[in-house]
Structure 1
Amino acid sequence: MDELNKRIEQLEKDTHQIRLDVTALTERSKNFATTASVEKLIERCDTFVTKAEFTGTLHAFEVRLNERLDNMDSRHQAMIEKLNSRINSSDSKVFWGIFLPMMTAAITWFVKTAVLQV
C-alpha cells in the first residue's frame, strides 16, 4: 500500500509537470509561424524587392532622360544662337541694302518737293 501511495504521488507530480509543460508549449506555439504566414512573408519580401528594383530602374531612366534633355537643350541653344546671328546679319543687310537707300530717297523727294517748291 505504501508503494502504491508513492506511485500515485509520483504520477501526480508527473501530471503536474506535464500540465506545466503543456501550458508552456501552448504559450510558445502562439508565436510559431504557419506555412501560410511564411508564404505571405516571402510574397511581401518579393514585392519589396520588385519595388526596389523598379525604383532603381526608374531612377536610372530619369538620369538618362535628364542627360538627353540637357543635350537637346544645348543643341537647341546652339541652333538659336546661330539663327540669331543669321537674323542679325540679315537685319544689317536689310537695313544697309534696302531701308537706308529707301529712306534717303524719301527724304530727298520730300526736300525736293516740299522745300524747293516753296
Structure 2
Amino acid sequence: MLHNEDIFSDPDTFKPERFLSADGSLCSNVPYPIKVFGFGRQICPGRHFAHDIVWLIIAQGLAAFKIEHTINVNGKEIEPKGEFTPRLLIMPEPFKCQFTLWFPEVKTLIHSSAQ
C-alpha cells in the first residue's frame, strides 16, 4: 500500500524530502503514511503513542547532538552510500558518522537522565 506509484513517486527509494515542499514545510498533497498501523478492528491501539515517542526521541537527539560526516585520514568527509537492507523491514546499512555535543552541559544532562 505504501509502494503505490500513483501516490509515491519512486516508492522503493528512501526519499524523506518527498514529504516537504520547496520552502521546507510539510507537503499537503502527499498523504501521511498512517496505513502502516493497520485498519479497522486490527488497527494498532498504540499508534498515537508510537508516533509521539519517535518524534520525542528524534527531537531530543537533535537537541543534544550535532550529527556530522566522519573525517577520513586524509581530512576529507566520508559520504554515506545510502544503501538499504533488502528485507521485510527496510533499514539503512551501517555507516560511519560523528556525534558531537552542541554544548558541554549536555553531557551532564545525559548522565543525569540515565540515572
> Which one has the largest radius of gyration?
1
Q: Normalized per residue, which structure has more strand?
A: 2
TM-score normalised to structure 1 length: 0.23
TM-score normalised to structure 2 length: 0.23
Per chain length, whose mean CA-contact separation is higher, i.e. which structure has more relative contact order (CA < 8 Å, sep 6+)? 2
Q: Normalized per residue, which structure has more helix?
A: 1
